[in-house]
Structure 1
Amino acid sequence: MNDSRFTPVDPVDLTARLVRCPSVTPVEGGALTLLTELLEPAGFECTRVDRNGTPNLFARWGRKGANRTFGFNGHTDVVPVGDAAAWTHDPFGGEIAEGYLWGRGATDMKSGVAAFAAAAVDFVRATPPDGAVVLTITGDEEGPSKDGTIALLDWMRTKGEAMSVCLVGEPTCPDRMGEMMKIGRRGSMSVTFQAQGVQGHSAYPHRARNPLHALVRLLDRLASEPLDHGTDHFDASTLAITTIDTGNSATNVIPARAMARVNIRFNDAHSSASIAQSLRDEADRVTAETGVTFELQVDVSGESFLTPPGDFVRLVTGAVTAETGVEPVLSTSGGTSDARFVKDHCPVVEFGLVGRTMHQVDERVSVDQIRQLKSIYSRILADYFA
């Protein structure tokens, strides 16, 4: 039953107040304190789960271990502003002008956090559900991401806390509200190749073993052959050469060592381990041909994952369509997000507003979209617990 004693939380005002918190990774900047002051009076049990100087907040309304627990995930940390003088409005001013709320993090993703926090507070006050609502909010999504959502999930596991499903509030729509949600993400990994040859005079190449020739041969093979041609829900995997270096300033010396790095975004046809093995196999073939040896360093940001279309995906899709009149495309495009960690805990999808200005100078968000996003999240909660 609705309770008229409570004034609904204004997500636009909350976004503005969050933007005014200078929470550049990993500085908390007052953002999590602000959210705690909103959530605790509404009955949420709030716990700071800081790790290695990284600020994180866990908030739960309802009983731990409830049969149905709806989770939201997001971040309050932001990237640096760059040249503050290039901004039309103070990047930490949270100003509203021309129908937009301006500032660093307005799009990515303080508006998303404000929308789901406002929706959650209003929902549990007006219609207390048979279940629990959990908010996991980190200050380390834009940084290394080692002590953010991972730390929250580690803490939850030790405390017996769990989410049945989770919605990540990252911006997902390219141009208009409602047009896209994420049901998975590609994996991401970077591989560094260190090629070891034999130094020599460039006039006598037969007395040397040129690591650059071998490295270029290897890179050409890797870049020329597609990893795959896509799968049912994913585009084709990609490999991009991002740097080649020898540190050689001489024009007549064949260097002893050379280095190159590639970045790979891969779909669910692969794992990081299978790709790493294929790269090692190709490097071994080039070694057999040239005598140049390779060392590989593999850094994995996340594995690919998919939340198959089912009840949870349909619930979110239905709420988005009801509030926007647009049926969202089920996408796995884009880079990585903290959903790559949540997927090991429970089914996860992502939906948020239009992200066209995120990380840009003059980052801004339509105030109408913030209100619409709260309405979508409110409907998702109501439908989930119906």
Structure 2
Amino acid sequence: MKSEYLETMPDKNGYFGKFGGSFIPPILEKPFEDIKNAYEQLKKSPEFIDELKYVRKHYQGRPTPISFAKNLTNYCGGAKIYLKREDLNHTGAHKLNHCMAEVILAKHLGKKKVIAETGAGQHGVALATAAAYFGLECEIHMGEVDIAKEHPNVIRMKILGAKIIPATHGLKTLKEAVDSAFESYVSQVEDSIYCIGSVVGPHPFPMMVRDFQSIIGIESKEQFKEHENKNPDNVVACVGGGSNAMGIFAGFIDDTDVNLIGVEPMGKGEKIGEHSASLTYGEEGVMHGFNSIMLKDKEGEPAPVYSIGSGIDYPSVGPEHAYLNESGRTKVGLCDDKEAIDAFYKLSQLEGIIPALESAHAVAYAMKLAKTLPSDKTILVNLSGRGDKDIDFIVENHPIPNTKF
């Protein structure tokens, strides 16, 4: 798939307009330059491309299908709802798309260890899986709150051989996990590589992760035409850092007839600390080595954030999302905890698909959107992950409905 946009953005310094770049301490400048140079070399290598294709087809289980959510569509009325089934990707989410590639990159650089943060645990599980497959050590940093909340994924990571490092400061969630992982990486840059888990961080990671995730959009563009013989009218995905959203948006970024909608978590309300809606309530700022839109407290520091979805409670957003939103190419949708839980149960009981809580935000928004559109319109949702990791937390805190919808 040739895309004029993807081939020109970001610029050579990693900027999407004014967003992006690399704001890192001197000790990390050479390692990140090495990563950038290795990626620029590898992405043109037939051997790398062939290895990645082989892994995706024969190990990950790609391509993942698109499913028509007939019962959910009938329940909502209005537009037809389709699901890009990244929940069927090996490990249960989209994260393996970039993790396998990042570990191949690590091996190319002669590294022995991969380090990463994780929120909901899906990136951690995917990286631990990739490390096991390619024979590298794996160190995962995770907030104490998320360790308790996402217990099944913590166990999976340990079974896969990863070492789990709890982040015990601040709110003990995703931001603190990133802080902890960066600190650890600085102390062992010679033998390890930091495998960022979304389209965030210093250049080249927003570009690199987007490129690796673009397989979602490439597949979707072809598959959707098998269903409708045209592009979808709307493409919807949840946004925290934004990797699954940029992955599917990449397939349609040059198609101006397709509305691209990133759904942010409104959590419990509009006050600081009750939500993670960075694009909606944030302002320009630098965090974790990149310039983007971020939620700030009164002192201008990263604000406390919250979402029922552990993978999307992040105070900033990928710089490309900030650029695309500011330029008007993408739109922002909102979904609160209550709506996400409702969508979690409705998709489960109407379609037999248990979604990740993060993905449930996109499903919830699609349900609202469908009701406002005529039946000849279509919505493609990136179902970024499955909900096995969330079921204990959900049933303990939000009982299963007594009646099927």
Superposed pair shares fold, TM > 0.5: no
Higher helix share: 2
TM-score, normalised to structure 1, is 0.27
Larger relative contact order (Cα-Cα within 8 Å, sequence gap ≥ 6): 1
TM-score, normalised to structure 2, is 0.26
Higher strand share: 1
The structure with the larger Rg is 1
